[in-house]
Structure 1
Amino acid sequence: MDQLTAVLIGAGGRGFHSYASYALDFPHELKIVAVAEPNASRRASFAEAHGIPEQSCYESWEPLLEQSPVADIALICTQDRMHFEPVMLALKQKYHVLLEKPMSPSPMECIQIERAAKENGRLLTVCHVMRYAPLWSVIKRFIDEGKIGQIVSIQLNENVGYWHIAHSFVRGPWNNSDTSSPMILAKSCHDMDMLAWLMDQPCTRVSSFGSLMHFHSGNAPEGSTDFCIDGCAVEATCPYSAPRFYLSGEGKSFYSKYFTNDFTGEPSRDKIVQGLRESSYGRCVYKSDNNVVDHQVVNMEFANGATATFSMCGFTLEPQRVIQIMGTKGEIRGQDDQIVLRDFLTHEETRVAIPHQTGHDGADKAIMRNYLHEVRHYHGQESRSSASASVQSHMMAFAAEQSRLRKGASIELAEFYDEIAESFTQVGR
């Protein structure tokens, strides 16, 4: 097995710990030879972990990608609105690309990325990691084997978790669509992708409703302060208290082990307190600059007449996805670590237990393993989560957001795509 080489653009949580860490676990398969990361502390930590010399460490992606290629692969894990330019240059420089989702907050840029991958003959895989997770892989196999006949309808719930939405989508970097992406894209493009993959049919029509119902200044309790730690009169009884999240671990102990890294490079209590005073993660959830929805529903119709409903809600205790797939011969229900298959003819019930693994239940490692195999044997084929497949589900998300902004008006996907493609053609003239 030939060792492949890669450069990492963006050494944040996903890039550093989810994808590039594969090179540490399987050094005979992958070696990271350069990194571009503006945060000096993260850049230094990543370079030390992977043995990258100082001359191969960059503050920005431009000097790394503008030179002659130094590796086989570019892992691009920057923030949502920082994907397009490095992806396009990496493809032009003939890197194969593994791109963190979403592709881009711009529909036109998504189409341009897809076309650039084809024009340059490079393998571009988008990190829709759920396609590689054991739970969803087994569900897909059952469907493909005809276990439930033809799919008639799917119901998919994404329970974000009250502590996760407060951390990432109220206080964190995905809290404002003007600087990141709308919620349906930033958090739920995974779900649009799963529905498209399981249905295996073009989505033809979308409508959507949702709003920022709770996390805004109109709901700020009397006596609350801009920062939880600054003498807030209701902090002790607020379920979204930042000190409770990050110091006591009362909400989820996971915070103290992982999420505190988002605002402090040193997980000491003094550094956490400092972060709660100085960073957005210490702000009151009712007095942040967030504008993304905290709940949303999407209705979808597919080419063969099948339908799907999707619900995203931030007001749940645990983050989890729950799915029910209803077919002409049976149904499938799945959540967490279990799948239940029911047969209408025999009433037989099959239960499949899925062992829990770290990293999206093993999907982060699985997508890397698959991707490296596909790069080694690349002859123009598309991957399981290719740019082309991702554009389809991204368009579903973009259309859903357009519908929501138009008070639930139905959006025809073909017309929606054609309008964007036409705009792209006019820009290119």
Structure 2
Amino acid sequence: MRQITAVLVGAGARGRFVYGAYAKKYPAEMKIVAVAEPNEERRRLVATEHGLSSDQLYESWEQVLSKVKMADVAVISTQDRMHYAPTMKALEHGYDVLLEKPMSPSADEIIAMANASRMHNRLLTVSHVLRYTPFWSKIKEIITSGSIGKIVSVQLSENVGYFHMAHSFVRGNWNKSEETSPMILQKSCHDMDILSWLIGEKCAKISSYGSLLHFRPENAPSGSALRCTDSCAVERECPYSAVRIYEEDSTHEWSRFITNDLTPEGINEAIKNGPFGRCVYRCDNNVVDHQVVNMEFESGSTASFTMSGFSHDVSRTVQVMGTLGEIRGYMEKNEIVLYPYGKDAIDVSAAAEEGGHGGGDEGLVREFLNQVRDENNNGGQGLTSAEASVQSHLMAFAAEQSRLEGGSSVAIAELSAQQTCSVGS
């Protein structure tokens, strides 16, 4: 197995804890040989973790991608609105690219990146990690086998988790759509992609409703403060307390995303003075905290999707209803039950794998590296190529347009026709 060398562009949570972690766990498969990251502390951490010297550290993507090509691949895990330029430059320089989702909040940029991948004959794989999980792969396998006949309707729920909602979409980096992406694109393009993949058709029409219902100043409890540590009278009872989520969690599941100093003093300092210690009712957020989407596909099959920031856990549940049977699944418990009509229910086994997103994070990287090693397949169509991702991104754009227009039906073909789209799905 040939070791693949990589330039890491962006060393935040996904960059360090997913792609960087894969290289540390499987050094024979992948080696980080350079990093571009404006934050000096993050650069130093990556240097230590991957044994990089000072001449392998760069402050910007422009610096590293202006050099002669120095690796097999570029892994781009910058913020949403910073994907386009480094991706285009990396493809131009001959890198195969692994790009964090969403590709871009601009349809024109998405289409340009897909076209550039084809023009330069390079891989551009988008991190729609759910397709790479044993759970969703098994459901797709059942559907393809014909066990449930033709799909009539699918119901998919994304339960964001109250603590995840507060961390990422109220206090955190993705709390303002104009600076990153709308919630349906940033968080739920995974779900648009999965629905499109399972049904195996293009979506024809979409309508959507949703709003920022709860995390607003007028909903702040009496006695609350600007920050959780500012003598807030209700902090002990508040489920969104930063002290509860970050300081009292001994696993550091979320505190590692607010500071690199995981000592009690470091976490306390981040809560007291950083953005993650703010009261959730007094942040500058504007993304929705709940949304529903209704879809009709080309053959008449329908799907409904619900995203809610108000759930006790982070999970996805699905119900696939066909003409001959039904599938019900609970992703985080790795539970799949097949109900053939007129027969006994069948518990379906899906191998549990380690890693984030039910094993999808590692599955994505592994498949990307394998495709890079296949020199005859450069520029080919991987499971989540840019061209495959165009459809799910257009679905997300249409859903957001519908939501902003009060739930009007939006035809994907009309939305696509507004773009200079020459790629397939």
Q: Offset of 1:265 from its aligned partner?
A: 1.2
Structure 2 partner of 1:231 = 231
Structure 1 partner of 2:360 = 363
**Secondary structure in structure 1 of the residue aligned to 2:28:** coil
Q: Offset of 1:248 from its aligned partner?
A: 1.7
Q: Offset of 1:351 from its aligned partner?
A: 3.3
The Cα offsets for residues 193-220 of structure 1, whole Å up to 9 and x where unpaired, read as 0001101101000000000000011111
1:143 pairs with 2:143: yes
Give the distance between the partners of 2:388 and 2:178, measured in 1 at CA.
26
- Say whether the 8 Å CA contact 1:300–1:309 is kept in structure 2: yes
Give the distance between the partners of 2:125 and 2:108, measured in 1 at CA.
18
The Cα offsets for residues 373-395 of structure 1, whole Å up to 9 and x where unpaired, read as 11111243210001011111010
1:292 aligned to which of 284, 287, 295: 287
Give the distance between the partners of 1:354 and 1:317, measured in 2 at CA.
25
Give the distance between the partners of 1:315 and 1:258, measured in 2 at CA.
19
**Secondary structure in structure 1 of the residue aligned to 2:180:** coil
**What is the identity percentage for the equivalent residue pairs of Structure 1 and Structure 2?**
52
- Say whether the 8 Å CA contact 1:161–1:315 is kept in structure 2: yes
The Cα offsets for residues 146-199 of structure 1, whole Å up to 9 and x where unpaired, read as 111111100000000111100110000011101111100111010000001101
The Cα offsets for residues 257-311 of structure 1, whole Å up to 9 and x where unpaired, read as 1321222111111111111121110000000000000000000000010000000
1:220 pairs with 2:223: no
Q: Offset of 1:48 from its aligned partner?
A: 1.2
**Secondary structure in structure 2 of the residue aligned to 1:420:** coil
Residues 301 and 60 (structure 1), Cα distance of their counterparts in 2 relative to 1, 3 Å cut = same
1:259 aligned to which of 250, 254, 264: 254
Give the distance between the partners of 1:241 and 1:24, measured in 2 at CA.
34
Give the distance between the partners of 1:270 and 1:24, measured in 2 at CA.
28
Structure 1 partner of 2:372 = 375
Give the distance between the partners of 2:31 and 2:40, measured in 1 at CA.
21
- Say whether the 8 Å CA contact 1:403–1:409 is kept in structure 2: yes
The Cα offsets for residues 12-60 of structure 1, whole Å up to 9 and x where unpaired, read as 1111121232222222222111000111111111111111111010111
- Say whether the 8 Å CA contact 1:341–1:349 is kept in structure 2: yes
Farther off after superposition, 269-278 or 208-217: 269-278
**Secondary structure in structure 1 of the residue aligned to 2:176:** coil
1:310 pairs with 2:309: no
- Say whether the 8 Å CA contact 1:338–1:354 is kept in structure 2: no
Aligned AA (1:169): F
The Cα offsets for residues 212-232 of structure 1, whole Å up to 9 and x where unpaired, read as 000011111222211110011
**Gaps (5+ residues) in structure 2?**
none
Give the distance between the partners of 1:380 and 1:222, measured in 2 at CA.
58
Alignment TM-score, normalising by the size of structure 1: 0.95
Aligned AA (1:355): A
- Say whether the 8 Å CA contact 1:160–1:318 is kept in structure 2: yes
Aligned AA (2:253): Y
**Secondary structure in structure 1 of the residue aligned to 2:420:** helix
Give the distance between the partners of 1:229 and 1:63, measured in 2 at CA.
40
1:323 pairs with 2:318: yes
Give the distance between the partners of 2:350 and 2:90, measured in 1 at CA.
41
Q: Offset of 1:121 from its aligned partner?
A: 0.7
Q: Offset of 1:358 from its aligned partner?
A: 2.5
**Secondary structure in structure 2 of the residue aligned to 1:91:** helix
The Cα offsets for residues 362-408 of structure 1, whole Å up to 9 and x where unpaired, read as 21111111111111112432100010111110100010000000000
- Say whether the 8 Å CA contact 2:210–2:290 is kept in structure 1: yes
Give the distance between the partners of 2:207 and 2:57, measured in 1 at CA.
46
Aligned residue-pair number: 418
Structure 1 partner of 2:338 = 341
Give the distance between the partners of 1:235 and 1:30, measured in 2 at CA.
45
Farther off after superposition, 153-162 or 43-52: 43-52
Structure 2 partner of 1:420 = 419
Farther off after superposition, 32-41 or 338-347: 338-347
Give the distance between the partners of 2:84 and 2:23, measured in 1 at CA.
25
Give the distance between the partners of 1:179 and 1:140, measured in 2 at CA.
35
Structure 2 partner of 1:410 = 409
**Secondary structure in structure 2 of the residue aligned to 1:308:** strand
Structure 1 partner of 2:39 = 39
Structure 2 partner of 1:203 = 203
Aligned AA (2:358): D
Aligned AA (2:60): S
Q: Offset of 1:65 from its aligned partner?
A: 0.3
Structure 2 partner of 1:427 = none
- Say whether the 8 Å CA contact 1:12–1:77 is kept in structure 2: yes
- Say whether the 8 Å CA contact 1:329–1:345 is kept in structure 2: no
Structure 2 partner of 1:28 = 28
Give the distance between the partners of 2:328 and 2:354, measured in 1 at CA.
20
Alignment TM-score, normalising by the size of structure 2: 0.96
Give the distance between the partners of 2:62 and 2:379, measured in 1 at CA.
27
**Gaps (5+ residues) in structure 1?**
425-429
Give the distance between the partners of 1:189 and 1:416, measured in 2 at CA.
17
Give the distance between the partners of 1:158 and 1:278, measured in 2 at CA.
32
Aligned AA (2:352): P
Structure 1 partner of 2:129 = 129
Task: Quote the RMSD (CA, aligned, Å).
Answer: 1.4
Give the distance between the partners of 2:379 and 2:351, measured in 1 at CA.
34
